[in-house]
Amino acid sequence: MKKKTVIFLCFIIFFSCSRRQVSEINGYTMGTTYTVKIVHSNSDYDQSLVESEIDEILKKINSSMSVYDKNSEISVFNRMDKNKSLKISADFMNVLVAGKRIYEITKGAWDASTGPLVNLWGFGNEKNRVEVPSEEEIKKKLELTGFDKVILKPDKNEILKTKKDLFLDLGSIAKGYGVDKVSKYLLEKGFDDYMVEIGGEVYVSGKNFKNEKWKIGINSPEKKAKGFDFAEILEITGKAAATSGTYRNFKKTENGDYSHIIDPTSGYPVKNSIVSATVVAENCTFADGLATGLLVMGAQKALNLCSGLENTECMIITKKNPGFYPLYSKGFKNICK
């Protein structure tokens, strides 16, 4: 009898595992693509319902923080005069609060107010611009920047603009927030095993289809690298991973190549040895913004900062002739395959 019971239990366990399936949802948001993978064994799973609700979540975020939508909250803020206040949504405030923390710990290396400089260098709304701006032009745009010129009042869901022509762009953190919002939704729906990815920023929970930790590849910065050429492969669960790099989006000019990432302190495109910064953290909003900040800071300062942050690891890839050299925070290698 005991033997039959053991066999019967083994059959139940095997049958349950065999019923695990993965459902995938793909779409377009925030100027990029997104992928959601949900591992489940629920016969009542409604793909169309989950897909439509995820789409609604992302549309709401985009309508709040897209600088390309003239009716978005951020566009309304950008058009406001100085010393004006604006009531904003909880989503917008959440991102600004997270951004303020990143701005402070990176000592301004991450700054959401560099929009005028991004446009000046031809990476924003003025994409047709090809000439290098003058020092005087850069100086004038620098006077319009400074994330500290936005006063946050989280208890009132209100923000105050203290500088005329201050222009916010949350493109370096909004995708990470979208990942976190979709992840929270899936958790509330009762899913434990899933992956959410928006434009390369990722959060994973539980186990994958094979009942193992999720494997997340970090693209190689080599020019000839393909989609499945990885510098490292992470094995993580319950964590987010985000990468910021200079090796894909840049402009070629007579004076050399210029990165799309602007140093908020100088007004010039970042020009250091870092080509890629990857952050692994507990949430994707933080990982997304911090990755950009680390890239601006430079390799050693970036590693020093991460070593002092809890539950945060980073990999910095530097370029030195004749190749690329990865640098790691203390615990990063423990999460690599």
pLDDT at 333 over 70: yes
Report pLDDT for 129.
Answer: 59
pLDDT at 2 over 80: no
**Coil, strand, or helix at residue 189?**
coil
Q: Would you say residue 9 lies in a domain?
A: no
DSSP 332: G
Tens digits of per-residue pLDDT, 189-217?
Answer: 999 999 999 999 999 999 999 999 999 99
Q: How far is CA 173 from CA 15, 69, 73, 178, 327, in A?
A: 42, 17, 16, 9, 23
Residue 334 neighbours by CB under 8 Å, 6+ apart: none
Counted domains in the chain: 1
Q: Would you say residue 82 lies in a domain?
A: yes
Tens digits of per-residue pLDDT, 154-191?
Answer: 999 999 999 989 999 999 999 999 999 999 999 999 99
Of all residues in the chain, the percent with pLDDT exceeding 90 is: 69
Q: Would you say residue 142 lies in a domain?
A: yes
Structure confidence at residue 226 as a pLDDT band (50, 70, 90): low
- Mean of the pLDDT values across residues 317-329? 89
CB 171 within 8 A of CB 291: no
- Rounded to two decimals, what is the model's pTM? 0.90
Q: Would you say residue 15 lies in a domain?
A: no
Q: Would you say residue 2 lies in a domain?
A: no
Report pLDDT for 6.
Answer: 40
Per the model's pLDDT, the better-predicted residue between 294 and 115 turns out to be 294
Q: Would you say residue 16 lies in a domain?
A: no
Q: Would you say residue 303 lies in a domain?
A: yes
pLDDT at 280 over 50: yes
Q: Would you say residue 328 lies in a domain?
A: yes
Q: What sign does the CA torsion over 170, 174, 177, 181 have?
A: positive
CB 203 within 8 A of CB 193: no
pLDDT at 9 over 80: no
Q: Could you tell me the CATH number of the domain that includes residue 302?
A: 3.10.520.10
Q: What domain range includes position 114?
A: 23-337
Report pLDDT for 5.
Answer: 40
CB 35 within 8 A of CB 26: yes
pLDDT at 27 over 90: yes
